[in-house]
Chains A and B, each alone.
Chain A
Amino acid sequence: MNYFEIFDLPTKYNLDENNLSKRYMQKQKSLFSANSNNISVINVAYNVLKNPIKRGEYYLGLYNRDCNKMSEELAFQMFNMRDEYENLLNKKEKQDFQIKLRQSLDNELEALSKLSDDIDKFQEKFIKIKFLDSFLGKIKEDVYSRD
């Protein structure tokens, strides 16, 4: 049984998070009196599915697809972006950069949800999203540590 099936959901990347959360709570209730091993599986599955990045990795994994291979073009884009960030001087500029990056990540996620029928395109888009997300994480750490 894959993680989607655990919650009686179709094995598709796109899902309604409120629906997932409802089903998670129902499962929790029905398993409350059962043993804790099963609850653990549900928690693991929920944890993966509720997060768009972890969900994407898992989804591609189901198709035996890699999500770490950067194309040359993407590598170049990421390099430029990092360069741009490192040249920013003050906190304000960095925060603006962070907001801009957050927005473009959201846009890409929106675009990703329309690609779920084409696994090749989905994979390509997702890899980009994954790197944007991890870059955003690093920036967040950087901006906050300078408080």
Chain B
Amino acid sequence: MFTVGIDLGTTASVVSYVKDGKPQVIRICGNTSIPSVVNYSSSLPIVGREAIYKADSLNTIFSIKRHIGSNRKFLNRTPTEISADILYYLKSKTEELVGQNIDAAVITVPAHFSDIQRTATKRAASIAGLKVLRLINEPTAAALAFGIEKRKNGMFLVYDFGGGTFDCSLLRLEDGVFQVLATGGDNHLGGDDVDNDILNNNFSKNGISNITNDEYILGKLVAKYLKENLKEQDKIESEFICKGKKYNFCLTKQELKEFSSKSLNRTLDICRQVLEDANIDKSEINNVILVGGMTRLKLIKDSVYEFLKVPLCDDLNPEEVVSLGAAIQAQSISEKNSNMILIDVVSLTLGIETFGGGVDRIIYRNTPIPISERREYTTYQDNQHGIKFHVVQGERLLADECQTLANFELKGIPSMPAGMPRVIVDFNIDINGILSIKAFEKTTGISQSVVVTETPVLSESDVFNILQKAYEEQENDKIKIRNIDISIELNRLLKFWNLIINDIPFNERKIVSKKIKELNSQLSSKNFDATILLKSEIESIIGKFLDEIISCRLSGKKLADMRRI
């Protein structure tokens, strides 16, 4: 059986296979890493370096991985279809070079890919005619390659800073079992952003404000080149010509430091979080494995070392190590070889929206996969015939601010009093990190399976805004939750006050009714601070009579009647 490992990257892709017991990278057209770029100027898609050399910005697609799983279309194609074209190219070139058909592949994805992104990646492979043996997380694959190479047990931290995404995973290797302890990351944090900063800075130095597509594509290649080649010197320069115009780009050490610092700090924060999730101290780490093009930068290496004070392993090629690990895993699965097994985890918390907009967390991040969890729900109104479920993924406190995976309704529940039906929902995350859901009502046996499909349309700026918000608005989430709590509480109180208002003496009753009216209007215009004030005023008036009212109620009389006596 011929199996391969494919690292389908944001900026570049790599294919590997195991030959005579040793993993090795396949050189396609002489190169190990193939740019994930597709040009659609002719009837057949052109992939890789050739697509870049076309310098045809209108028909060329870069970094499609950033959009996989969305419904957005590029040149009339979905991101899944475009990724499939890249995979098809890798498959056919590999088969040509090795002289054998690929039976199955392990494809790597960022640890932080959502369910939807994983499903889309799997579908891209099937469009390309590849059988997917498994999807594995990129940092896990890197650790696997490293562990096999060095043959040693211990605790590894993988720092994977690529073109478009950042992942950090903590793993333990013990007697042939690779266990992921915790993982964290950000799908929109990568070297691409630094390249963009360099590009924009240079164009503005060249006095250009409206950048054309062609300028952008060439400029970006130059920016990347400058970033990667600034070694010991303080400054690096390069010239290029686009449509007959000459441009001069340069990059200083200081500028690079400045452009990288925001991303860099964010990566270190994520590392910190991962260590805390796993409850592991820095000093317990034996090795740090560097993965991804960004880790070639001395600046990044130094900062990671400064932070962790653990020896860095950079002797394996950071751009190839992920694909090597995938190849090892592909062979180990296809041969059912249990000398090296892998236990990976869920990277994003899975939950269901609760009454009021919060999230009931069902499967927490860093739980080993595959995993299944069962929950039981019921109706809250008499004769309610359906229950709606909103399934979300993410770490935010409010359902609206997590990513929606599915909205479904279990219908056909027979008429029953509230709380009687028993709706069982089974959540199952498989070994690829892909979710399936089954819901059924116990007394009638009505059931429903849910397939998670593509996400609603999001533009790049939407995505950026959502992420920005996630970090800035944690505090706001809390306020919103507080507000939801307040309105639930007030609705309960309003009902209660209504029940007892006639038991209050006339004068006070007049004041209270007026205040309740005002409170209702403040509540509907969402002036929560005003409602809190009104609530306490009403409570302080009613409070004086409350004991009395309750004791009368308990003896079966109304207070108003008592007073009349």
Residues of A within 8 A of B (CB): 25, 28-30, 32-33, 36, 39-40, 43-44, 46-47, 145
Contact = CB atoms under 8 A, between A and B. Distances in A.
A40 B426 CA distance: 13
Interface stretch (B19-27, B173-181, B454-462): B173-181
B234 interface: no
Interface in B143-174: 174
Contacts, number: 42
Contacts of A39: 370, 431
B182 to A, nearest CB: 13
Contacts of A29: 176-177, 338, 341
A30 B336 CA distance: 11
B396 to A, nearest CB: 12
Secondary structure of the A contact surface, majority rule: helix
B428 A40 contact: yes
Contacts of B370: 36, 39-40, 43
B103 interface: no
Given A36-B431, A145-B478, A43 B368 contact: yes
Given A28-B341, A39-B431, A43-B371, 18 more contacts: A25-B343, A28-B177, A28-B343, A29-B176, A29-B338, A29-B341, A32-B338, A32-B341, A36-B430, A36-B431, A39-B370, A40-B370, A40-B372, A40-B428, A43-B370, A47-B367, A47-B371, A145-B478
Contact of B336 (A33, A36, A40, A46): A33
Interface string B303-341: 000000000000000000000000000000000101001
15 contacts: A25-B175, A25-B179, A25-B343, A32-B338, A33-B336, A33-B338, A36-B370, A36-B430, A36-B431, A39-B370, A40-B370, A43-B368, A43-B369, A44-B371, A44-B372
B475 interface: yes
B381 interface: no
A48 to B, nearest CB: 11
A55 to B, nearest CB: 15
Interchain residue pairs A-B with the least CB separation, the first 9: A33-B336, A40-B370, A25-B177, A32-B338, A43-B368, A43-B371, A29-B338, A32-B341, A36-B370
A25 B172 CA distance: 12
Contact of B368 (A30, A33, A46, A145): A46
B176 A145 contact: no
A44 B367 CA distance: 9
A135 to B, nearest CB: 17
Contacts of A145: 474-475, 478
B174 A25 contact: yes
Nearest to B335: A33
Secondary structure of the B contact surface, majority rule: mixed
Interface of B: 174-177, 179, 336, 338, 341, 343, 367-373, 428, 430-431, 474-475, 478
A30 B428 CA distance: 22
Contacts of B176: 29
A99 B175 CA distance: 36
Nearest to B174: A25
A44 B370 CA distance: 9
B376 to A, nearest CB: 14
Nearest to B338: A32
B329 to A, nearest CB: 12
Nearest to A25: B177
A35 B547 CA distance: 64
Contacts of A36: 370, 430-431
Contacts of A30: 338
A119 B173 CA distance: 38
A30 B338 CA distance: 8
B367 A43 contact: yes
A36 B342 CA distance: 13
Nearest to A30: B338
A116 B431 CA distance: 36
A75 B371 CA distance: 35
A40 B433 CA distance: 12
A53 to B, nearest CB: 13
A145 B473 CA distance: 10
A12 B71 CA distance: 52
A43 B345 CA distance: 10
Given A25-B179, A36-B430, A145-B474, A47 B368 contact: yes
Contacts of A33: 336, 338
Nearest to B474: A145
B43 to A, nearest CB: 42
A73 to B, nearest CB: 24
A30 B475 CA distance: 46
Which of B176, B179, B371, B474 has the most C-beta atoms of chain A within 10 angstroms of its own C-beta?
Answer: B371
Contacts of A40: 370-372, 428
A122 to B, nearest CB: 25
A29 to B, nearest CB: 5
A25 B373 CA distance: 21
Contacts of A28: 177, 341, 343
A44 B336 CA distance: 23
Contacts of B336: 32-33
A43 B336 CA distance: 20
Contacts of A25: 174-175, 177, 179, 343
Contacts of B177: 25, 28-29
Nearest to B341: A32
Contacts of B475: 145
A99 B367 CA distance: 26
Nearest to B371: A43
Contacts of A46: 368
A30 B176 CA distance: 12
A35 to B, nearest CB: 10
A66 B174 CA distance: 38
A33 B336 CA distance: 6
Nearest to B273: A144
A36 to B, nearest CB: 5
Nearest to A46: B368
Contacts of B343: 25, 28
Contacts of B478: 145
Contacts of B175: 25
A32 B475 CA distance: 44
